[in-house]
Amino acid sequence: MANYPTPHIHATPADFAPTVLMPGDPLRAKFIAENFLDEARLVNNVRGIQGYTGLYDGVPVSVMASGMGMPSIGIYSYELFNFFDVQTILRVGSAGALSDKLKVRDIVLGMGACTNSAYAGQYGLPGTFAPTADYGVLRTCADIAQEMGLPTHVGNLLSSDTFYADNGAEANAAWAKMGVLAVEMEAAALYLNAARCGKRALAICTVSDHILTGEATSSEERQNSFTQMMELALNTAKALG
């Protein structure tokens, strides 16, 4: 018996390309499909989580939203990896800078994803697992970013379960002290699912706001203007084939 459609994705494996770009916002998925993909077609819209497949420079690429937070991206990435034959997921999202080395609109490639989440507890490991990106995908993306001349940083992200935390300032300072570059809410679960499924993943994040300086972008800017990150992810998908 086929494992599709799943409860959250009404499609078949043939509807998805081997590489999927995964923004959090469904409207950002729609923006990428409409502005960068040729012959884009809607392949999923369950719960308004829009997924599209089309061609980028002749290479099949899919883009589908993940929703917000690790439980949400955990569901969608698990189903894509396990039931739809997706090999690589590139998260394209926003992050808040924790380091004074970063500026708003800089791009961060998440080499690793620290987390305050208990997501890894399900695996019953006798220790602490370090969620990391696939090195080959990270290397490819970093090389392309350099060729494109983009302001890019490679290092640790913090994947947080709490957007409004009681001890947010103290916690952010503690993570920053350990060299964590920026905070977001999805990468760790994506990396853990990829590891468990034997697949590949990378989080590519644009700095939408700076925790230290208070500088920020609007929700509309985050939806429509992070085009350098989108092109970087698409060029990475193209290189992966």
| Residue 158 · residue 180 · CB < 8 Å | yes
| Residue 210 · residue 185 · CB < 8 Å | no
Taking each continuous run of H as one helix and of E as one strand, the counts in the chain are 7, 9
Q: How far is it, in rounded angstroms, from Cα 153 to Cα 142?
A: 9
Of 81, 45, 87, nearest in space to 64 by CA: 45
Q: Which two tokens stand for residue 176?
A: 């920053």
Of 128, 131, 127, 147, nearest in space to 139 by CA: 147
What pairing do the DSSP bridges indicate for beta strands 38-44 and 51-56? antiparallel
- The C-alpha R_g of the chain, in whole angstroms, comes to 17
| Residue 51 · residue 63 · CB < 8 Å | yes
Residue 25 annotated among the catalytic residues of the structure: no
Describe the crossing of helices 187-197 and 70-83 by its angle, rounded to 10 degrees: 30
Question: Could you give the residue numbers annotated as active site?
Answer: 209
